[in-house]
Amino acid sequence: MNASAPTTVRTRFAPSPSGHLHVGGARTALYCWAYAKARGGSFILRIEDTDQKRSSHAASLGFLEDLRWLGIDWDEGPEFEDCGGGEFGPYFCSKRLDIYHSYIDKLLSEGKAYRAFETPEELQKARKEARANKQNYRYDRAALNLDQATIDKYLAQGKPNVVRFKLPNDQPVTIEDKVRGSVTVDPQELDDFVILKADGFPTYHFAVVVDDELMNISDVIRGQEHLNNTAKHVLIQDALSFKHPNFAHISLIFNPDGSKMSKRDKDKALRKVVKERNIIDSPCDVVNEDWSWWLESKDHQLDIEKATALAETLDVALPEINVDDFRRAGYLPEVLINYLALLGWSPGNDVEKFDREFLVENFSFDRVIKSPAKFDRDKLLAFNLDAIQALSTDEFVKLWRDHCNCYHKEFMDKLSDEQFEMLAAANHPRAKTLDDTFKSSYFFIANDDEIVYEKTKAVRKALCNGEPSGFEHLTALEPLLSQINDWDIQNIKSVVEEYAGQNAAGKLGKVAQPLRIAVSGGPVSPAIFETLTILGRDTVINRIKLCLKVQSDMLSNSNA
């Protein structure tokens, strides 16, 4: 190849569809995408479903949705909305079996690979023994010494077998990594690893090398956990006379406690609770049929719906690790993108807030941080708050409505369009996420008899203390509000403000807070005039009366 010839940049993200897209994967995809975009290249999505036991079609669909939601589009790959397609498919490994087999055959016929007949159990045992003896386990190459007659006999018997790659020599393998520089792996650290499983599927190591070559991938960008594996990949590439792509291994994302943030964290959290509480039988119908299978091995993971159902039954909060978790929690995709990009990369000059375009224009591997980063939810939340506050009211209302449609349908059902719009707008200034205001807005859709007056310090203070007290203000306000014919924010405001001017020395808070509690049951709501307007006169009057009814109860407990 001519050294000066421009090489087309082609990057790929190759997840295994065994769950939802988690934030680490999302960041890898983001870097792949930005790097390709900036250089006029292509970003390819490939589904690495080489594990039949763990792959599911639904999971791979979830990945596509998550990626699209983040605004990461792919030029080639599974077709979804306006993304995907391409000439280098199929983009599912499970549909490329013939291709892998032809290369396996090639290696086999050239003596660069060989069949082995040990069972997984035998290997497991050998590994255990090696560890017990404080030895590093390496496959002993027993199968390499099998004579052809024996092999033929086993094959004729249909004995399960795998294909192993034969390490060519003892030359150290050096990897040039764009993040880490040059890394050398001693071949003593490797052994004749499996490249074709007994079920006829290739292992990841083999599939990834073949696919990257055939799909013309120029830059392999992936998590640091693959750094050691890369030596294997280079060896396979050499054996097959493939070229070496550029490598870039980015560091991992940690949980706040310093452990690796992993797609298995939810599963781990559930197992911990089950163990702690000594739960023997399935506590939740949804998981009944998977229960014993799940308990059997840490490799067996419940799918996300079942895990969520189990978590609900057990009343445990699952850690937020998936892109979809943050979507539900009301984070804006552009904020997640921004934050994720910053977690492992920095544009310098104290720049922190930026959009996708800026990322594409400025992203480069020489500014990728080598050390792992902890995922800091507080900072993400602060970013989200800033972004939400920077939205126009119209934009916020639209997003709030979309979110509501997906996750809080009851608000759409119970409020009129006008009420809904007003509530959304009233919630804008106090929203940190698209989701957090729903919880404190429940009283808007509750029936009057559902309102429970909290007997907390803040409530008592607002209702019982002062001269006149909050209850006294409410008593006086009730007839005044009843007389308002046009129940709009202006009229409510002038009545309440005039009252406060005459009876609370102009201190609106003295009057607003009792009203707030009367209509909501607690001390938290959107701005008071908006709140009263949305609720409507009848509801407001009715709830003030209800509140006044608990007066004696509240007062009698006030010194307790």
Label residue 158 left, alpha or beta by phi (over 0 means left) and psi (-120 to 50 means alpha): left
Quick check: 249 and 177 in contact, CB under 8 A? Answer: yes
Give whichever of 168 and 256 is closer to RNA, judged by the CB atom: 256
Q: Shortest gap between Cβ of 530 and RNA (angstroms)? A: 8
Q: Shortest gap between Cβ of 155 and RNA (angstroms)? A: 14
Q: Shortest gap between Cβ of 5 and RNA (angstroms)? A: 26
Q: Shortest gap between Cβ of 277 and RNA (angstroms)? A: 26
User: Furthest-apart CA pair in the chain: how many Å?
Assistant: 106
Q: Shortest gap between Cβ of 90 and RNA (angstroms)? A: 15
- Number of other CB atoms surrounding residue 452 within 10 Å: 11
- Number of other CB atoms surrounding residue 383 within 10 Å: 20
Q: What is 278-305 written as a DSSP string?
A: T--S-SSGGGGGGHHHHHH-TT----HH
Q: Shortest gap between Cβ of 298 and RNA (angstroms)? A: 9
CA 114 to chain centre: 41
**Which candidate, 16, 37, 26, 12, places its Cα nearest to that of 69?**
26
Q: Shortest gap between Cβ of 28 and RNA (angstroms)? A: 11
Give whichever of 14 and 217 is closer to RNA, judged by the CB atom: 14
Give whichever of 86 and 522 is closer to RNA, judged by the CB atom: 522
Integer Cα distance of 435 and 41 in angstroms? 37
H or E segment and range at residue 394: helix 393-407
Give whichever of 381 and 446 is closer to RNA, judged by the CB atom: 381
Quick check: 2 and 46 in contact, CB under 8 A? Answer: no
Strand extents, DSSP E, 493-541: none
Q: What are the C-alpha distances in Å from 51 to residues 16, 65, 122, 124, 169? A: 8, 21, 21, 19, 30
Give whichever of 282 and 459 is closer to RNA, judged by the CB atom: 459
Residue with tokens 């988690």: 22
3-class secondary structure per residue, 50-90: CCCCCCCHHHHHHHHHHHHHHCCCCCEEEEECCEEECCCCC
Q: Shortest gap between Cβ of 343 and RNA (angstroms)? A: 5
